[in-house]
Amino acid sequence: MHPKTYLVPIFFDEKRFVADIENRDPIDVFRGALGFANNHFNKRFNEGENVHQLVNERAHFADLILRHAWNRFEWDADISLIAVGGYGRGELHPHSDIDLLILMRRDKPDRYRQSIEQFLTFLWDIQLKIGHSTRSVSQCVDEARGDITVATNLMETRLLAGSSELLEKLKAKTGPKKIWASETFYQGKIAEQRARHRKHGDTEYNLEPNIKEAPGGLRDIQVFNWTAKRHFQVHRRSLLIAEGFLSEEEYVTVRRDEEFLWKVRYGLHLITDRPEERLLFDYQRKLAVMFGYKDSPERLGVEKFMQRYYQVVMSIRELNEVLLEYLDEAIYRKNKVKVVTPINARFVIRDNDLGTTDASVFIHNPSALLELFAIMGENDSIEGIRASTIRQIRLHRGLINDKFRADPENRALFMRILKAPYKLSNQLQRMNRYGILGGYLPEFGKIVGQMQHDLFHIYPVDVHTLEVVRNVRRLTLPDVAAKFPVAAHIYKNFRRRELIVIAALYHDIAKGRGGDHSTLGKVDIANFAERHGLQPQEVDLLKWLVENHLLMSTISQREDTSDPDVIHKFATHVGDQMHLDYLYVLTVADINATNPRLWTEWKGSLMHNLYFETKRALQLGTVAPFSRAAWVREAKDSALRALGADNIVSAEAISVWRDVDEDFFLRESAEDVAEFTKAILANQGAGKAVILISDVGEEIPVATQIFVHSKDRQNNFSIIASALDRLNLNIHDARLNSNSEGSAFDVFYVLDEQDQPIGKDSLRCEKILQTLHQAIANPTEINIDVQQRTPRQLKNFALKTAANLRHDVEANCVILEIITPDRPGLLAHLTQIFVRFELRVLHAKISTLGERVEDIFYLTDKNLEPLTDSDVSAALIETIRRELDQRNKEEGQEYKLRNMKKWN
């Protein structure tokens, strides 16, 4: 038995299909039909056909195949075949499961056991991907009563074959009048959604998002579909317009956003040949090509594709929130409120949520679109915005145009928002989500959802920007101030705090336009500042901050801040304490908003040192270069005083230091130099290296310091770097010094895999000591074989190695800068290249930025002279690029081969 009529796709010759079943192997016939249909649908997809049409037609074709399969076996009027879940909605993507319910009138499975087993076996033989359950009507009711997921699946059912009366009976017994009343169902789905969002970091901006389950994904659309359909007892979303739940604009928006995500999901299934829901980096690039997003001089095609993706999921999450809140506010609570507090003629607070006095407020007074957020920022008791008001904002945000932006009242309102005392970042996030911020600041609208395709920037530019604002404002909180005491103290004393907020809002505003975003951004911020009535000196400060917002981070991590010349140059550029203070606060907030793992106590200490050394220089009023000799003299005197307290005479210490590099005393603290010297004196005649391991940091350990005093060899750095690499330790700074007697005074600063110091781990420190002593004693046994596997995400980036050399006349060396993909064993490999070229490393600064490293090495030849031979220099650069890129290529090929084996 089966329904009297059903859709037959135009491309499918059903009569021939039936005839072939009679004359050939049915399994071959069904498989052939499925294969032909898949190719047909996929061809239409690749030609750009509407994906809603394809997904629905694919489901209808599956209906047809299942009916023919069902009819091959013996059934009676007391059993039916039902489509449930997504398939029950009439949706089927290329590799989605076909969810089936074999529904019996009574719990007598033995009666149908043989037919059911034969039917399911046949479906598996023809290679249909099915999920199934076999239950009686009463069993379904019992299951649904105890499990909201089952109840949800049974809401979306279609009869495929058998008795329609059975399905109607099931619907009646599992409807909201029997189980899971509308409001109870709503609360259950809200709880499910919250748990699901938490599982995905409660953000729609994951680097590799799950397009179905993550916030803003397809499941968020289904949640408000399910809750509204259950309440209004309708089976189609379009019918919710007539019920007053969805506006025409909201319906069109949902349909458009769903079309995009369905297209992405369909494409994902095709390129992975499995039911994949994760937008992994490799898939992002393939989908961008599939959908025609092309690289341009300004941006990669994949970045354009992902910007569109993030804009869509942001739109879906906004609608999800407002519609679910509206269902609760207007339908379940029937707009009942306990406390009403008038604000003015336009706004009123109802039970702690801000709302409008009537539905035409924004029509008659468009400025209220900004006034609303100013009121919220000035009243800490307001918790949110009423759903009905958010819907009015969405409806009328198009009123923000050039005339609106030029209105002095609106400009004053926007500045009032930036000066508001409460929850500024929350207000800006709301303004961004509802399209107000990008409407009022069109330059901000261009960066909404704009992602950089790397592991360093984990948020789109707009989200990162608002996170910088949040970090600045949170410096007033005690726990944040305890973590960033210098920045908090500076921020506390700013006379006009809105200036640093404006700088934060505009520091990355020009990303994605091509060219230097810092240079382009200073033009935008100047225009904003002048439009909003700031003083000329304030405009100049803001321009300077945007143009230089990367400078302090770059110098602290890439240059030797113990060098007085570096400090002098930076202090001269900064000019005064005010510029230094603003730049420091902006830099701290910026780094912490880029990537949670980017800020470590070690990097914080580098910033801290740069700030205070520059502050000292500015206080001294320096306009001339510092005297290195004076700094060295002061450092030695301080170390000698510390040693004298331990009854070590100056002559002994000076004999140890004889002709050691001056940089040793500039870079290391007097206390450390004294400790190193004591250990060397205590071990004279022992015949083995002196190795000291300790954490460094004033109050909180920021890194583990490893001091090595040994025979000075050309390959010292290679020996030690290789040994530390095998111990899964990351070198962040290496300072190699020697004296004329052939002794090395090398200092390394390391962190573990989690960017944490390890000096308190006695077992690990003992292992380090053993490994280093063995490596130094047997330098010919250097092993650079890497035991660690490269993480999957890193393998998805095919960054080409960039390397260049420049001469540093004052340091009497060459500086090698390398940018290359981050890989285990990278530093050990580089050091082996240096050994082959007979180069010595004087100093190394190691920075890991997401998927890449940016390393700097100060090099000389084996005679401690600068590398002057241009042919050797060229050969060095070519070797580094070739070997590192070849290694990355082989690793990538191995990764692809493993994946092919895994899925084939």
537-586: pLDDT as tens digits: 999 999 999 999 999 999 998 888 888 889 999 999 999 999 999 999 99
CB-based burial of residue 249 (10 Å sphere; 0-12 exposed, 13-18 middle, 19+ buried)? exposed
pLDDT at residue 792, as a whole number: 60
Structure tokens at 724: 């530390």
Rounded mean pLDDT of 207-213? 94
Rounded mean pLDDT of 448-463? 85
Sign of CA dihedral 571, 573, 575, 576: negative
Instruction: Tell me the C-alpha distance between 589 and 592, whole Å.
Output: 5
899: pLDDT strictly greater than 60: no
Instruction: Tell me the C-alpha distance between 103 and 81, whole Å.
Output: 6
HEC profile of 372-396? HHHHHHHCCCCCEECHHHHHHHHHH
pLDDT at residue 663, as a whole number: 85
Q: Name the average pLDDT for the chain.
A: 90
Estimate the share of the chain in helix, then strand, then coil, as percent rounded to the nearest 5. Answer: 55, 10, 30
104: pLDDT strictly greater than 90: yes
pLDDT at residue 9, as a whole number: 73
267: pLDDT strictly greater than 70: yes
Instruction: Tell me the C-alpha distance between 498 and 599, whole Å.
Output: 24
pLDDT at residue 488, as a whole number: 96
Nearest of 294, 291, 307 to residue 48 by alpha carbon: 291
Chain mean position to CA 872: 41
What is the phi/psi pair of residue 745, to 5°?
Answer: -125, 80
pLDDT in tens, 17-41: 999 999 999 999 999 999 999 999 9
pLDDT in tens, 633-678: 898 999 999 999 989 999 999 999 988 888 899 889 899 999 999 9
Please tell me the least confidently modeled range out of 112-121, 180-189, 750-759, 886-895: 886-895
DSSP letters, 253-268, are: HHHHHHHHHHHHHHHH
163, 77 contact by CB (below 8 A) = yes
483: pLDDT strictly greater than 80: yes
pLDDT in tens, 117-175: 999 999 999 999 999 999 999 999 999 999 999 999 999 999 999 999 999 999 999 99
789: pLDDT strictly greater than 70: no
Q: What percent of the chain has pLDDT over 90?
A: 71
pLDDT at residue 180, as a whole number: 95
Task: Tally the C-alpha atoms within 13 A of residue 531's C-alpha that lie toward its C-beta.
Answer: 21
- Work out the pLDDT band at 785, boundaries 50, 70, 90: low
Rounded mean pLDDT of 261-274? 97
892: pLDDT strictly greater than 70: no
pLDDT in tens, 498-527: 999 999 999 999 998 888 999 999 999 999
Rounded mean pLDDT of 494-499? 94
Which residues are registered as beta bridge partners of 613? Answer: none
DSSP letters, 774-795, are: HHHH-GGG------SPPPHHHH
98, 131 contact by CB (below 8 A) = yes
pLDDT in tens, 354-388: 999 999 999 999 999 999 999 999 999 999 999 99
